[in-house]
Chain A
Amino acid sequence: MPVTAPVPVVERALLRYRVMAFVVGTMLLILVGAMLLKYVFGVIDSTSIVAIGHGWLYMIYVLVSLDLLFRMRWGFGRIVFVVISGTIPFLSFWCEHKVTGWVRAELADAPQPDRAPH
């Protein structure tokens, strides 16, 4: 599959995506932990703060993901995969690993005439 954007631009987009995937994945685990504390152990009254935080971070995650996916010109299936995996505990970490692999593979295939340091 062709890479359309310059390589450093793609790598910056990839970095943004990876950071947000890590943040959202971690936030999701915290949310699951908080829900266990609330509904199973009854130690805390409310998980709202974590839920609201995860909600808005997930919005940023989706934006950053779409940005990367469009730069890579990936198809609809991968868009759905990346967007959904941000909502499933642990899957976002694995998805991040997969996406990084795909990008790296395509960057390695792409011609790199002037790969500027960044």
Chain B
Amino acid sequence: MPPSTRRGDDPTGTGTRRVAYRGRVRELLRTPRWIGLTALGLVLIVAFGALSWWQWQRAQREREVAPPAPVAEILVVGAAPAEEDYGVRVRLSGVYDLGGQVVVANGPSAYWVVTPLRPATGPAVPVARGLVRSPQDPLVSTATPGTVEVVGFAQPYEGDPGPGAPLPAGQAERLTATAFDVGYPLVEGWVALESQVPAADPTAEPVRPPLGVSAPTALRWQNASYAVQWVLFAGFVVFLWVRMLRDDLREARGESLRAAPADGAAERPEVY
């Protein structure tokens, strides 16, 4: 075999070298060091795959939501909901009462549109229908007419901020019992709308329930992120294995590992 044949110049020679290279790889892989490293790599890949699967299952499980409970089981007149019921999914039906609606300031240029939903019997339930950027948003002046089936997250009233600067009629600083001025009983608490039948028109940005449901929602992204990362770590193992094998082959071939800086860079440009 000529000492320095470039690939293409002598196909036969290249083929011979390839066969020799494969032989060297097989020989190296049969050494105890490489049997061990390969076994370790496989164990790590399987373990990382299992960890990824586990995190993915956790991410999925968080997504499963319990079927909504009847609102009367969670929100009642005259008593705040129990802390463990914060964020529970509830269902209710009734007619929106635009006249009793309150627009609650939720930070600069963010308003919750909260409209009492009056059922056929029993107390009305304030439903936060959406988050709008201005009190003049069309959502404020329109609500789905007729009987509406609502699913949402039960929330307690916010703390009363006490007397503050006067606000325009129909607006409140906090979502509290005193924010409403209606002639019928209201439950103590409110519901952040998740979905309704018939669908809302116009649609609005949903109100993110402040209590109880934010943590699990975020956790699912954390688990999904970890699931992706475990797969990538398994990829790192493959990369590490290939890289170490290549280094060992070079060493076995007797290539000088202590390459002079300039020569080394020129000889193996693909590495550095």
Contact = CB atoms under 8 A, between A and B. Distances in A.
Contacts of A114: 261-262
The DSSP consensus for interface residues of chain A is helix
A4 B262 contact: no
A73 B215 CA distance: 44
A9 interface: yes
B203 interface: no
B226 to A, nearest CB: 6
Interface in A55-81: 55-56, 58-59, 62-63, 66, 70-71, 73, 76, 79
A67 B147 CA distance: 64
Interface stretch (B21-29, B109-117, B216-224): B216-224
A4 B218 contact: no
Interface size class of A (residues with CB under 8 A): 20 to 34
A111 interface: yes
B272 A71 contact: yes
Interface string B136-159: 000000000000000000000000
B225 A4 contact: no
Interface stretch (A19-27, A44-52, A88-96): A44-52
A27 B222 CA distance: 15
B272 A6 contact: yes
B247 A73 contact: yes
Nearest to B212: A45
B229 A6 contact: no
A59 B222 contact: no
B260 interface: yes
9 contacts: A2-B258, A4-B258, A45-B214, A46-B219, A48-B215, A51-B222, A56-B225, A113-B261, A114-B262
Given A51-B222, A63-B236, 15 more contacts: A2-B257, A5-B264, A6-B261, A6-B264, A6-B265, A9-B272, A45-B214, A48-B219, A52-B221, A55-B222, A55-B225, A55-B226, A58-B229, A62-B236, A70-B243
Interface of B: 37, 214-215, 218-219, 221-222, 225-226, 229, 232-233, 236, 239-240, 243-244, 247, 257-262, 264-265, 271-272
